[in-house]
Every structure is written in structure tokens, then in C-alpha cells.
Amino acid sequence: MNRFLSDLYHHLSAPSIVLVLLLLVVGSGALVASESSRSFSESFSLTVTYSSEYEFAYYVFDGSGLPVGGVAVSVSLHPANSSGPTVGSASGTTSTDGLATLDIAAPDRNYTVDYSVASGPRYYGFGLRHLAPGAIRTFGAIAPVEVGDFALTPYVLLAFPAPGGGVISGLSAGYYIHEPNSSTNLSGALGSLTAVPQRVHIPIAGGVPSGSILTVIVTNGTGAVIASFSQNAENPPGAEGPGGNVLLNWIWAMQFLGLTAATLIGYLGYARERVAGTLEPLLALPMDRLRIPVVRFVSSIAVLAIGVTASTAFLVYWLDRAFAIETPAVLVGTVWAGAMAEGMALVGVVFLISHLVRSYAAVLSVGLTLTVAFSLLWRGLTDWAAAQYGVPATVWSSMRWQGQVGVLSPTNAALNPVEWSLRLTAPGGSQLLAIDPSPIVAGLAMLLWALLPFAGALWLARWRD
């Protein structure tokens, strides 16, 4: 058995390391279990101009935009902007294509519509349409599953339950974003849609600013409008997809668990032993001085990888079990890589600190403090960059909070290891700054970030006791 495997085995057989892994795995598992056992029900209100010529189209979909049948739904009409007496109501159950058609006999006028889905084990997205038959009806419901607030990637995921479950392809789309506070609007072509069965993923550069109105128009090959929808990006009525929030919650949880676990892994794997002097028997063995921190770092990262992989697996299971969200492998991979990069950097920081101070408490506290300081440093730098380009602070804050700006750091508020890019777009629509490194450059930058603290630790190990 070579030295790396020996050290890895030594690591994994330590009760304290097992406890750290349990912290990650059980923590993630508890998160999954608590969410999976939750029962959801939801209701919304919408003001519509009612026409008796066409019925209400109720559509229910899961986290992946796939239609969900067998869900009890109900609709009731009240005088507009009033919760007065019910003018009419209807209820039904969605069919296999996720649709329920509900007819209500009532005079044509403006009404407030209350609509809801019954309680169920999963949080479904749902929506209600009361529009002229034709375009939408052709394709069934068109629904934004996730818009803007999904911090990892700014995009719109539309559900296109095609008749008979067929594949939609050959579509193109344009978008139009109206911001109430701005006289100008963002608009542009989305290009050809990447169509997968019954779902369309439309990345939008810069995302959809909070408070704006997003309109998506889908056309066929001849330019004819075949579907469209329009909604307030901040509060899409009746069409909230839970996926983004789920993932964000997990990331926040992972950030806490991951930071703690990475600190402890670095501490238990090297720093504690350096402070205690228990690495000295190894130093007396026939090996280079640097081999010990290298072997310990590699085995610490292997331990970290076990924890992060287990936790990521829980994430995928959670999204599928609780919300029927099919998680793209690329997204899972990038989240995994980002968490690993963060963890490696923190493990390296703890290694580094142990070469500067000889105190258990100091190693732990300084390591965590430095991590927070790095995050604040990146935030300060990006704030400064935004100010240099004249982006108002409130807009900048909103954009960053919603993950619509990727920052050249994996430690930004949204923990965005995917983007590794800096894009600033003024409210007027003009591109102020765009740094979009190639995946190779971005990967190297991430690796540099992950390994830089450890390189510092190696340098110290070479020259100091």
C-alpha cells in the first residue's frame, strides 16, 4: 500500500474524521428528510377579464416542467379586487398531460380568481390561464418553471407539454423585458431553443431583474407566433417553481456544513497534529519534509470529496424525491466542483495557519476568520468594480442577490462556481463589462483559488519548523 493510501486509511479510521463525515452526510440527509416529508398546498389570486367564450385552463407541472396528472384543483370567481360573494366556482382533476379544463358560468366582466391545488407530498408548480384559445392551446400550457431567482444560472425554464408527449423542436424565441423604473426595455432574440421533451431551457444573459416584466414569445420556423407568456418576474402568479429555492437552500446549508467540515478536516488532518507535535514521528521517517503536508492535503481532500459527493447525492435525491426535478449532470458537477474548490481552499488555509500559530483555538478561529475575510474582500472588490461602471448600488445589490451577476470568485454570495465570469449590464441595457473566460481559463482560475492557500502552506513548511 503506498503512502497516500496509508494516510487516507489512517484518516478515515480516525473517529473524529468519521464524525465530520457524519456531520456532512447526516446534515444533508436530515435536510432531505425534513423537506421530503413536507406536504404542500398553495393558492393564489389573479385578476382576469373573464370571457365566457373560453374556459379556465389549469396546468400543473413538477420541478422539471413535466405535467402531473391526478392533482385536485379548484377555481372560484369573485367581484374584481374584492373577496365578496363567490360568483361561480369549479373544481377538477388534472389529466395525464397536467391540464384541467374548468368551465364557469358567469357574466363577462373583470373578476378576481382564487385558484389552488390540493395538499400533496410534493410542491408542484401550477398556473391558471384564461386566454383566447389558439396559440397556447395548441401546445397546452406554457409556464415558466423558474425565473431569475434561481441563483445558479439566470434562465427561464418553460414547460411545453406537447400533445401526446411529443418532442418540440425547431422553435425560436425572442424576449422582451420591461423594467417599471426604466424608460427603456431590454429585448433581444433568444435564438434557437434547445428543446428536450416538453421542456425548454432559455438562458438569458444578465437574467431578469427583480421587478421587471418578462415576456417570452415563441415562434415557429416561419416566424409565426405560436406561444407567448408574460409575467412579473418577481411574483409570477400561480407559477412559482420551487426548484431554485430548493437548490439555494441546499447551497446555503452546504455552505455552512461545508465550511465547518472543511475547517475540521484541515484541522484534524494536519493542523491539530502539527500543533500537538504528532507529525514529528513522521518527519523522522525517510521522506521529504514537504511530502507530509502533500500527503495529508491529498488525503484530506479525498475525505472532503467523500463528504461532498455524499451530500451532492442527497441533493439529487432530494430534488427528485421531493420535487421531481431532474438535475442536469452539468449543474450537479459544477456545484460539486465549486464546493470542492471552496473546501480545498479552506483546508489549505487551515494548513497555512498551522504554520504560523501553534494554538488549537487560533488555528480554528483564524482559519474561519480568514475565510470570511476573503469573502468580504471579493464582495468589496465587486462593489468597487460596479461603482466604477456606474451601476446603482440598489440595482447591483439586487442583481448580485439574485445570482444574476457571476463574480470572479467562487465565494460570492450565491456561491457561483459555474459562472466564473463578471458581467455588468446597465439598467438601460448596454453592456458595461463582460469578462467571460473560457471554461479552461475558468477551471484554471478555480484550481488556482483552491490550491493557492495550500501552496502558501507548502512554502512555509519548506522554510519554517
Partner 1 sequence: MLEVVGLSKRFRHHRTAAVADLSFRVAPGEIVGLIGLNGAGKSTTIRAAIGVSLPSAGDVLVDGLSITHQKASASRALGWVPESPVHDANRRLGQLLRYYSRMAGPDARGRPLDALADWGILPYSDRPFRTLSMGERKRFALAVATLRDPTYYLLDEVFNGLDPAGVAQVREWMLAQRRERHGVLASSHQLRELQALADRFVAVHEGRLIGEFSADAIPVSTQSRLQIVFRPIDDAGVTLLRSFGEVERTSNGVSVTGKSLDAAAINRALVQAGYNVARLEATDPDLEAHFLELVRSQR
Report the residue number, 196 or 282, with the smaller CB distance to partner 1: 282
How many Cβ atoms are within 10 Å of 70's Cβ, its own excluded?
Answer: 11
Interface residue with partner 1, options 105, 288, 329, 384 (CB under 8 A) = 288
Give min distance, CB of 289 to partner 1, in A. Answer: 6
Q: Copy the grid coordinates of residue 303.
A: 475525505
Give min distance, CB of 367 to partner 1, in A. Answer: 21
Interface residue with partner 1, options 284, 329, 361, 440 (CB under 8 A) = 284
Element (H or E) spanning 433, and its range?
A: strand 431-435
C-alpha–C-alpha distance, residues 458 and 262, integer Å: 18
Q: Copy the grid coordinates of residue 185.
A: 426595455
Give min distance, CB of 305 to partner 1, in A. Answer: 22
C-alpha–C-alpha distance, residues 302 and 403, integer Å: 30
> Rule CB under 8 A: is residue 19 a binding residue for partner 1?
no
Identify whether the C-beta of residue 289 lies closer than 8 Å to the C-beta of residue 462: yes
Interface residue with partner 1, options 273, 320, 326, 383 (CB under 8 A) = 273
Give min distance, CB of 247 to partner 1, in A. Answer: 39
> Rule CB under 8 A: is residue 18 a binding residue for partner 1?
no
Beta bridge partners of 229: 216
Interface residue with partner 1, options 132, 225, 276, 447 (CB under 8 A) = 276
Given the rule CB under 8 A, which of 150-158, 285-293, 338-346, 424-432 is the region that contacts partner 1? Answer: 285-293
Interface residue with partner 1, options 108, 289, 359, 444 (CB under 8 A) = 289
C-alpha–C-alpha distance, residues 465 and 463, integer Å: 7
C-alpha–C-alpha distance, residues 365 and 168, integer Å: 55
- Least Cα distance to 437 among 464, 407, 458 occurs for 407
Given the rule CB under 8 A, which of 75-83, 281-289, 366-374, 390-398 is the region that contacts partner 1? Answer: 281-289
Interface residue with partner 1, options 281, 361, 384, 438 (CB under 8 A) = 281
C-alpha–C-alpha distance, residues 461 and 351, integer Å: 10
Q: Copy the grid coordinates of residue 382.
A: 465587486
Report the residue number, 167 or 276, with the smaller CB distance to partner 1: 276
Looking up cell 432531505 gives 32
> Rule CB under 8 A: is residue 277 a binding residue for partner 1?
yes
| Contacts with partner 1, 90-129, as mask; x by CB under 8 A | ----------------------------------------
Identify whether the C-beta of residue 43 lies closer than 8 Å to the C-beta of residue 273: no
C-alpha–C-alpha distance, residues 303 and 315, integer Å: 19
> Rule CB under 8 A: is residue 189 a binding residue for partner 1?
no
> Rule CB under 8 A: is residue 358 a binding residue for partner 1?
no
- Give the amino acid at 401: W
Identify whether the C-beta of residue 357 lies closer than 8 Å to the C-beta of residue 387: no
Given the rule CB under 8 A, which of 11-19, 107-115, 184-192, 397-405 is the region that contacts partner 1? Answer: 11-19
Q: Copy the grid coordinates of residue 368.
A: 474561519
> Rule CB under 8 A: is residue 282 a binding residue for partner 1?
yes
Residues in contact with partner 1 by CB under 8 A are 1, 3, 6-7, 10, 13-15, 273, 276-278, 280-289, 291, 463-465
